């Protein structure tokens, strides 16, 4: 009798084990499917490598953007993100000469607000060789102005003029620059127009 009871128990045990295995494998598959679905929801983004974009109007080049990586978000923001840095060169429409160059280690174009923010090692190099350096810079496309609210350093190409300011605002051509609380130095040359003081 003992043998007969064991004979009926084995098929039941085998059926139970197969059910557990099938159920656990389905559970893992469902977890994987959920994980993949969540990744697709979180990362609605196109990633492009080694990007070069040329902006032109009426066959005249206005700017050229280069970046090692560009992310375009397909969510409610529609933002463009440059996590690995960006360089934008602006050109004079009349003669095609370079007006200025903006580089940074990070940039984000907030499409809905028409604001581009540059962060980390931001450097603007102007056509005359002078540089503007800061850790944060914003460009408002609607108002056509640059601005920031952190320290900023201005240097001429020869290193004879250098000054800092607490913040600044400038037009898009960086001609009309207004600063707050500037400090700096000026090294006059021998042919300087500055008055001498007892020399």
Q: What gap in Å lies between CA 160 and CA 190, rounded to an integer?
A: 12
Cα angle vertex 66, ends 62, 89, to 5°?
A: 35
Q: Quick one: fold of 45-186?
A: lipopolysaccharide transport protein A fold (2.60.450)
Q: What gap in Å lies between CA 141 and CA 129, rounded to an integer?
A: 25
Which whole number is the average pLDDT over 149-158?
Answer: 83
What are the domain boundaries of the chain?
1-30, 45-186
Q: What is the pLDDT of residues 89-108, one digit of tens each?
A: 888 878 888 888 999 999 99
Is the whole model's pTM more than 0.85, yes or no? no
Q: Which residues contact 122 (CB under 8 A, 6 or more apart)?
A: 102, 103, 104, 133, 134, 135, 136, 137
Q: What is the pLDDT of residues 28-60, one digit of tens each?
A: 566 666 666 665 555 677 788 898 988 888 878
Report the SS3 class of residue 76: coil
């Amino acid at each position: 009798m003992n043998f007969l009871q064991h004979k009926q128990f084995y098929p039941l045990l085998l059926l139970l084990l197969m059910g557990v295995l099938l159920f656990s494998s389905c559970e893992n598959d469902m977890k994987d499917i959920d994980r993949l679905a969540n990744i697709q929801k979180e990362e609605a983004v196109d990633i492009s490598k080694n990007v070069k974009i040329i902006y032109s109007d009426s066959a005249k080049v206005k700017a050229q953007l280069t970046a090692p990586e560009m992310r375009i978000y397909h969510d409610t923001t529609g933002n463009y993100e440059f996590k690995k840095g960006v360089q934008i060169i602006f050109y004079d429409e009349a003669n095609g000469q370079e007006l200025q160059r903006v580089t940074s280690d990070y940039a984000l174009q907030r499409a809905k607000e028409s604001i581009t923010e540059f962060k980390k090692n931001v450097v603007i190099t102007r056509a005359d060789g002078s540089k503007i350096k800061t850790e944060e810079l914003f460009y408002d496309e609607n108002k056509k102005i640059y601005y920031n609210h952190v320290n900023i350093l201005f240097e001429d190409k020869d290193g004879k003029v250098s000054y800092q300011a607490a913040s600044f605002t400038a037009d898009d051509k960086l001609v009309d620059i207004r600063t707050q609380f500037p400090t700096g130095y000026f090294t006059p040359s021998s042919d300087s127009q500055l008055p001498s003081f007892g020399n």
